[in-house]
């Protein structure tokens, strides 16, 4: 079957590329859960996103590589977390010491109630979103599903982010991208587009860094 053969070759090519990926090798050597960790490390180095004492919420946190970095940047010399780190995902995630993990859809009332209990009336300094749907390979459908997650993350920020807070989200360039950037510019005072080195050239993903909510 030609289709099956093509898919098999595609999978084999992906596996070979993954195994030989320098960021994959480096992440394993340094004890990180995924190569995507270096995207956040670069973003943080350039944008100074994370500081001890902050309250940080990460959407789409599993498997937890970004969460590892957040914990490192918010730890004291003794290794304790200074601040609050809340990781959220519909998928399970192995525990990380000092991090509160909420499994479930953040739109669900039960999850929202647990988050409200943890925050105890406080607003959030940083919202990180590396969320992405399972891609179907149909560009129009995938772009729409990605955009929906971006819009949900923005709604989350409007509910929880401090006025001087920072929002970082992964976006795929394509249908709806420019409109979403405009929506961020209407909501935040400063919006930057970043393409970390660890983000593959073949990928349409970029990261948007938005700062300081405009008065509503």
* pLDDT exceeds 60 at position 33: yes
pLDDT of residue 11: 65
Q: Looking at residues 189-208, what average pLDDT do you find?
A: 86
Angle between helices 22-29 and 37-47 (to 10 degrees): 90
DSSP string, 180-198: HHHHHHHHEEEEEEE--TT
170 is catalytic: yes
Strands in 161-172's sheet, in edge-to-edge order, are 100-103, 84-89, 55-59, 124-129, 161-172, 205-213, 188-194
pLDDT tens digits for 46-58?
Answer: 999 999 999 999 9
| Cα(108)–Cα(193) distance, integer angstroms | 30
Contact (Cβ atoms closer than 8 angstroms) between residue 99 and residue 87: yes
Omega before residue 63 within 30° of 0, cis: yes
Closest CA to 184 of 200, 161, 204, 205: 161
| Cα(79)–Cα(116) distance, integer angstroms | 26
| Cα(78)–Cα(119) distance, integer angstroms | 24
pLDDT of residue 14: 45
Report the 10 Å Cβ neighbour count for 73: 19
Contact (Cβ atoms closer than 8 angstroms) between residue 90 and residue 59: no
Q: Looking at residues 117-139, what average pLDDT do you find?
A: 88
Q: Looking at residues 68-73, what average pLDDT do you find?
A: 95
- Residue with the two structure tokens 């409200």: 116
In this prediction, residue 125 has a pLDDT band, given cuts at 50, 70 and 90, of: very high
Catalytic one of 73, 84, 114, 170: 170
Q: Which residues of 118-137 are buried (b: 16+ CB within 10 A; e: fewer)?
A: eeeeeebbbbbbbbbeeeee
DSSP string, 84-102: EEEEEESS-----TT-EEE
In this prediction, residue 1 has a pLDDT band, given cuts at 50, 70 and 90, of: very low
Q: What angle do CA 68, 127, 36 make, to 5 degrees?
A: 40
Q: In what helix (H) or strand (E) does residue 114 lie, and over which residues does it extend?
A: helix 109-119
């Amino acid at each position: 079957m030609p289709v099956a053969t093509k898919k098999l070759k595609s999978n084999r090519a992906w596996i070979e590329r993954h195994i030989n990926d320098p960021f994959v090798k480096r992440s394993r050597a340094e004890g990180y859960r995924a190569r995507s960790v270096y995207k956040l490390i670069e973003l943080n180095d350039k944008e100074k996103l994370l500081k001890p004492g902050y309250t940080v919420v990460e959407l789409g946190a599993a498997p937890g590589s970004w969460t590892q970095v957040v914990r490192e940047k918010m730890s004291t010399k003794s290794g304790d977390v200074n601040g609050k780190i809340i990781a959220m995902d519909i998928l399970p995630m192995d525990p990380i010491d000092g991090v509160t993990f909420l499994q479930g859809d953040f739109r669900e009332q039960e999850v929202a109630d647990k988050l409200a209990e943890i925050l105890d009336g406080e607003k959030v300094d940083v919202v990180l979103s590396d969320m992405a749907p399972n891609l179907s390979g149909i560009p129009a459908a995938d772009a729409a599903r990605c955009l929906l997650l971006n819009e949900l993350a923005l709604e989350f920020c409007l509910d929880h982010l401090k006025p001087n807070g920072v929002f970082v989200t992964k976006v795929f360039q394509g249908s709806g991208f420019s409109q979403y950037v405009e929506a961020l510019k209407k909501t935040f005072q400063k919006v930057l587009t970043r393409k970390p080195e660890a983000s593959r050239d073949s990928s349409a993903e970029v990261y948007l860094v938005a700062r300081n909510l405009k008065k509503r």
